């Protein structure tokens, strides 16, 4: 074999080797060779037969939302407004009434709302004088208090500025389970009938 034929043969083999290598590289990069990924992405689609926002049964809250108004009371010497948002009976035997209190366009201090009892006078401007009346059961329930006479209720420290609104709560012994409505009253404000809801 002459030198010229040897060089041509070597060039041809080199070209074939390069072409084969490129073909294999392209085949390795393209496609997924039919294999599934080991961790497929989680699907955001809901499972068949179940709505995306569907809640399990029995998890709905039975107590009203803070936007609900069970009763609105206006009047008294302070020209105040009481909005009652909830009256929830819990499993421990308590009934908690909560809502918001606001007044007229001037400063005021509900110092007479603590009630007439000497023991409650130390509570100052508060919901200590509030009561619930179960007309069907002919019983009156007073705000709970500790051994020092402090009420389980809101104290309005500093009174109310003109147009100011403050949240309140007052806790009472719970009426019997069969009682679903009671009358809420405090000081010289007119009474209001409120519906009891069951808590957790």
**pLDDT for position 148:** 86
**pLDDT for position 185:** 97
Tens-digit pLDDT string for the chain (200 aa): 454 444 555 555 454 445 555 444 444 545 454 455 445 444 444 444 444 444 333 333 334 445 789 999 999 888 999 999 999 999 899 999 999 999 878 899 998 899 888 777 788 899 999 999 999 999 999 999 998 889 999 999 889 999 899 999 999 999 998 999 999 999 999 999 999 999 87
User: How far is the C-alpha of 145 from the C-alpha of 103, rounded, in Å?
Assistant: 26
**pLDDT for position 147:** 87
According to the 3-state scheme, what is the secondary structure of 26-71? HHHHCCCCCCCCCCCCCCCCCCCCCCCCCCCCCCCCCCCCCCCCCE
**pLDDT for position 53:** 43
**pLDDT for position 66:** 58
Spatial CB neighbours of 134, under 8 Å, sequence gap ≥ 6: 140, 141, 175, 179, 182
**pLDDT for position 127:** 96
**pLDDT for position 98:** 98
Helix or strand or coil: residue 76?
coil
**pLDDT for position 154:** 96
Spatial CB neighbours of 123, under 8 Å, sequence gap ≥ 6: 114, 149, 150, 151, 153, 155
**pLDDT for position 105:** 80
User: How far is the C-alpha of 117 from the C-alpha of 37, rounded, in Å?
Assistant: 76
Q: What residue segments make up the domains of the chain, in order of their start? A: 71-198
Cα dihedral 143→180→76→159 (10° resolution): 50
- For the chain, report the end-to-end CA distance as a whole number of angstroms: 100
User: How far is the C-alpha of 48 from the C-alpha of 167, rounded, in Å?
Assistant: 45
Tokens of 126: 């508060």
Does domain 71-198 fall under CATH 1.10.287? My reply is no
Strands 192-195 and 165-173: unpaired
């Amino acid at each position: 074999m002459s030198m010229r034929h040897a060089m041509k043969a070597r060039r041809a083999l080199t070209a074939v080797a390069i072409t084969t290598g490129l073909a294999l590289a392209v085949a390795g990069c393209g496609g997924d060779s039919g294999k599934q990924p080991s961790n497929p992405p989680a699907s955001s689609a809901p499972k068949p037969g179940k709505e995306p926002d569907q809640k399990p049964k029995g998890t709905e809250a039975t107590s009203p939302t803070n936007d609900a108004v069970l009763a609105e009371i206006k009047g008294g010497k302070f020209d105040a407004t009481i909005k009652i948002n909830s009256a929830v009976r819990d499993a421990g035997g308590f009934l908690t009434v909560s809502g918001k209190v606001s007044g007229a366009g001037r400063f005021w201090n509900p110092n007479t709302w603590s009630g007439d009892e000497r023991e409650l006078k130390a509570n100052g401007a508060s919901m200590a004088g509030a009561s619930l009346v179960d007309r069907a059961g002919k019983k009156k329930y007073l705000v709970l208090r500790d051994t020092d006479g402090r009420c389980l209720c809101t104290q309005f420290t500093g009174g109310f500025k003109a147009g100011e609104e403050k949240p309140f709560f007052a806790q009472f012994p719970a009426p019997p389970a069969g009682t679903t409505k009671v009358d809420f009253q405090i000081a010289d404000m007119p009474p209001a009938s409120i519906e009891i809801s069951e808590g957790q």
